[in-house]
Amino acid sequence: MREIVIGAAQMGPIQRADDRAAVVARMIALLDRAKAGGCDLVVFPELALTTFFPRWYIEDQAEVDAWFEREMPNPATQPLFDRAREHEIAISFGYAELTPEGRHFNTSILTDRAGQIVGKYRKVHLPGHSEFDPDRSHQHLEKRYFEPGDLGFPVWRNMDAWIGMMICNDRRWPEAYREMGLQGVELVLLGYNTPSANSQRPDETLETRLFHSDLSMQAGAYQNATWVVGVAKAGNEDGHALFGGSVIVAPDGLVAERAETEDDELLVHACDMDDCDFGKATIFDFKRHRRIEHYGRITAQTGVIRPDGTTG
């Protein structure tokens, strides 16, 4: 048995006026609860240190850069790293990263139980748009503020498991899971901030949106025989509703734990990495059953090209 007790640390809303110190204090409180619950690893959401600022159109670059972290850890987040090290709990969380070269990424990191950063992932599948759209009820400007991630989908050996990360919209793309699945991933850590309503689909219900979120993560878990820990930032954030629905999904695709609120909430589950073995060896034995000679189109083109040459 290779058991990791995981805490999925869902966070309630972070308002635009909230400073980093207040947010980090909430994260530490969740970390303390995780220690009491016997957790080895705690996973926080995407952009865990700030409100979801891509909902606003901002022209002043200095104002944009104020939402970004230039180093990690930094003075604001050092108390979180210190507490995690004290508790001997590994952590993963998302933030907006500004590199020394001036590049902007939507990033997640993973530490070991000694508080050392052992993995970094930059969001690949950026949703939304890059310019102000007057037809939207709210903006979604990730393509304006972030570059697509440039690190691919790596996995890292940590706590005797192969661990990978993805962020929010990545969960809807089967290629993201498969890239890690082909590296033997056993645990996928995923943070998200997802609106409760779609401005492009006003008829879509919250129930449907939650179903699609679950469907993406459960399918990725089952088809790659891996644990998936999906952790939300949720609630009414600056007048914009984000749904919760944080889950811990087992390698058989079944939900092992599910959040019940849209507030700060900790899900705890003992995840046995050996539970991945049956699916990897029997149901989806990639080495024996994959037929890569038929998959060339997946990486040869992006949009749809029909057999008659029309596109869509």
Q: Mean pLDDT of all residues in the chain?
A: 96
Output the pLDDT for position 199: 72
pLDDT tens digit sequence for 257-277: 999 999 999 999 999 999 999
Active site residue 46: yes
CA gap 234, 250 in Å, rounded? 23
pLDDT digits (tens, 9 = 90+) for 3-46: 999 999 999 999 999 999 999 999 999 999 999 999 999 999 99
What pLDDT sits at residue 138? Answer: 77
Residue 204's CB is within 10 A of a number of other CB atoms, namely 12
Flag residues of the chain having pLDDT under 70.
none
Give strand pairing partners of 64: none
Whole-model pTM: value is 0.97
pLDDT of residue 42: 99
Give the C-alpha separation, 194 to 240, whole Å: 10
Q: What is the DSSP string of 173-234?
A: -HHHHHHHHTTT--EEEEEE-EESSBTTBTT--HHHHHHHHHHHHHHHHHHHT-EEEEEEB-
Q: Give residue 198's pLDDT.
A: 81
**Which one is catalytic: 39, 123, 262, 276?**
123
Catalytic residue among 39, 46, 142, 262: 46
> Is 168 an annotated catalytic residue?
yes
- The residue annotated as part of the active site, out of 39, 168, 271, 276, is 168
**Whether CATH 3.60.110.10 fits 3-300:** yes
Domain boundary assignment for the chain = 3-300
pLDDT at 190: 98
pLDDT value for 154: 98
In this predicted structure, what is the pLDDT of residue 176? 98
Sort strands 240-243 and 235-237 into parallel, antiparallel or unpaired.
antiparallel
